[in-house]
Amino acid sequence: MDRSFLINEIKRLKTERNACTLAHNYQVPEVQDIADIVGDSFALSRAAAKMDKEIIVFCGVRFMAESAKILSPDKKVLIPSKYAGCPLADSITAKQLEAMKSKHPGAAAVCYVNSSAEVKAISDICCTSSNAVKVVESLKEDEVLFVPDENLAGYVAEKVSGKHIIPWPGHCITHARITVKDLVKTSKEHPEAEILVHPEVSEEIRESSDFVGSTSQIIDHARKSSNTEFIIGTEIGVLHKMKKDNPDKKFYLMSPRLVCENMKMTSLESVYRCLLNMEYEVSVPENIRKKAENSLEKMLCIE
């Protein structure tokens, strides 16, 4: 379908349906460009809850759209691709977390936002990659179950003293594709570049980097830094905003394999079809939604 037709139709349908489109930092450039807001998953969900729109089209993966529904129960939340999931979020079920909790009865259960609504519902508190350290520091319990990302858990364990962190052995398959060889190669090619990575990367990559942060923190850091060259160790989608924000700076992706197939399932065409056919609706059963909201709200209280 013609690109300008799709853009015009998306604009028209957004007005007609009183809808907004939110795009995660990992979305393809053209989807980011038509979005009302671009950002990380939790910032998007919070912003959507405040927007005076009846319909939220979440251009991202399922757990993100679920978070939007948890915070906006009275709005209709749609996701353009029904297959856009997250293997990291799917790596732990509520039953598995229950089993972990029974093995460690005195421990607090912290779940990263990259988790299902069911897992959020039975966690004591949620965290994002930006506030995970603060969230864990705020807990009174010395023993902490941290799910589902073992690399983020490792990063938190390094930063927080006096807590025993028990990670779930899950990881992001996209971030796991970066090797030390990739890091060494890109650093040799761009010796002046600052290395910015996401905490979902492995410990060995993190240790050889200059800055570790969430997608929004990486984007902010590049904007504020006096450096002009950066090697980026997270999904390729963030480069779009970074290049737009900093036309005089140079950005190099640490590996061409940093592409999340699930994030790339959304296109201008799928956003158009989503608005046209009002599909695919994301719902969360009310009993689960309320408990998951509680875990998210607890996190907001310590921010």
Region near ligand CIZ per CB under 6 A, out of 7-15, 39-47, 267-275, 280-288: 39-47
Scored b (16 or more CB within 10 A) or e, 208-219 reads ebeebbbbbbbb
Region near ligand CIZ per CB under 6 A, out of 157-165, 210-218, 248-256, 273-281: 210-218
Question: Nearer to ligand CIZ by C-beta: 55 or 68?
Answer: 68
Taking CA atoms, 266 is separated from 9, 57, 230, 272, 278, in Å, by: 16, 11, 27, 10, 15
Question: Nearer to ligand CIZ by C-beta: 130 or 186?
Answer: 130
By CB under 6 A, is residue 215 in contact with ligand CIZ? yes
By CB under 6 A, is residue 111 in contact with ligand CIZ? no
Region near ligand CIZ per CB under 6 A, out of 36-44, 118-126, 221-229, 278-286: 36-44
User: CA-CA distance, 169 to 91, in Å (whole number)?
Assistant: 8
The pairing of beta strand 164-167 with beta strand 143-147: parallel
By CB under 6 A, is residue 40 in contact with ligand CIZ? yes
By CB under 6 A, is residue 45 in contact with ligand CIZ? no
User: CA-CA distance, 182 to 289, in Å (whole number)?
Assistant: 41
CB of 250 to ligand CIZ, least distance (A): 22
Question: DSSP characters for 184-244?
Answer: HHHHHH-TTPEEEE-TTS-HHHHHT-SEE--HHHHHHHHHH-S-SEEEEES-TTHHHHHHH
User: CA-CA distance, 303 to 299, in Å (whole number)?
Assistant: 7
Q: Is 83 assigned to a binding site?
A: no
Token couple for 53:
């729109």
CB of 83 to ligand CIZ, least distance (A): 17
CB of 211 to ligand CIZ, least distance (A): 13
For the chain, counts of helices (H) and of strands (E): 14, 12
By CB under 6 A, is residue 114 in contact with ligand CIZ? yes
CB of 140 to ligand CIZ, least distance (A): 26
By CB under 6 A, is residue 41 in contact with ligand CIZ? yes
Q: Is 114 assigned to a binding site?
A: yes
Query: H or E stretch including 271?
Result: helix 268-277
Interacting residue with ligand CIZ among 13, 35, 68, 113 (CB under 6 A): 113
Region near ligand CIZ per CB under 6 A, out of 186-194, 212-220, 278-286, 287-295: 212-220
Yes or no: say if 23 and 45 are a contact pair by the CB < 8 Å rule. no
User: CA-CA distance, 204 to 211, in Å (whole number)?
Assistant: 13
| Residues forming the site for ligand CIZ (CB under 6 A) | 24, 40-42, 113-114, 128-129, 198, 214-216
Which residue numbers belong to the known binding site for [4Fe-4S] cluster? 86, 172, 260
